[in-house]
């Protein structure tokens, strides 16, 4: 197929090409340079463990099953976060009545092993009980 040359199109593009050449690329340099994320960027989920009551509201309202609560009795619980499931919607932050859970403007590291991203946000499960549970399963 023969390619046609349109002089009027080239004339239209020329100032744009010149502008791009003079100003440089508009995209970020990441991963070759630092990624500067805006302060309101909704990235990875963090927690202030001392404020968490283990009420499970964040778990109930998360649309992506990104948080799990393991609970036994009133005071013994673990809150677990799965970044690979997270939709970064901020619903958990909105649902928490105690200001415990929040998002920060950080990326989740890339990996081909999503299981390794699992984060225990709050661990109020005494060590000796965990050991006892493991002994029972042996
Ligand atoms: S940011 Fe949204 S998807 Fe992620 S854990 Fe919170 S509620 Fe779930
Ligand atoms: S982070 Fe907030 S909503 Fe989630 S279990 Fe803890 S206190 Fe409840």
**Domains of the chain listed by start with CATH number:** 36-128 (3.30.70.3270)
Considering the chain, what percentage of its residues have pLDDT values greater than 70? 87
What is the SS3 assignment for 134? helix
pLDDT higher at 75 or 89: 89
Across-strand partners of 107? none
Nearest bound ligand to CA 90? 1
In whole angstroms, give the CA distance from residue 46 to residue 91: 13
Q: Which atom of ligand 1 is nearest to the CA of 101?
A: 6
Parallel/antiparallel/unpaired status of strands 101-103 and 45-47 = antiparallel
**Centre of ligand 2 from the C-alpha of residue 84, in Å:** 20
- Quote the pTM value: 0.75
What is residue 67's three-state secondary structure?
strand
Residue 130 pLDDT class (50, 70, 90 cuts): low
Q: What is the pLDDT of residue 138?
A: 44
Which residue puts its alpha carbon closest to atom 4 of ligand 2? Answer: 58
Which ligand 2 atom lies nearest to the CA of residue 77? 5
Distance CA 70, CA 85 (A): 17
Distance CA 10, CA 13 (A): 5
pLDDT score, position 19: 87
Atom of ligand 1 nearest to the CA of 91: 7
């Amino acid at each position: 197929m023969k390619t046609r040359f349109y002089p009027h199109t080239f004339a239209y593009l020329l100032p744009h090409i010149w502008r791009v050449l003079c100003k440089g690329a508009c995209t970020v340099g990441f991963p070759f340079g630092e990624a500067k994320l805006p302060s309101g960027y909704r990235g990875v989920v963090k927690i202030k463990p001392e404020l968490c009551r283990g009420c499970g509201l964040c778990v109930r309202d998360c649309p992506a099953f990104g948080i799990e609560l393991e609970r036994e009795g009133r005071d013994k619980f673990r809150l677990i976060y799965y970044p690979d499931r997270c939709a970064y919607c901020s619903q958990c932050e909105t649902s928490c009545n105690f200001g415990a859970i929040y998002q920060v403007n950080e990326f989740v590291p890339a990996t081909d092993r999503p299981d390794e991203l699992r984060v225990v946000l709050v661990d109020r499960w005494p060590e000796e009980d965990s050991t006892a549970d493991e002994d029972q399963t042996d």
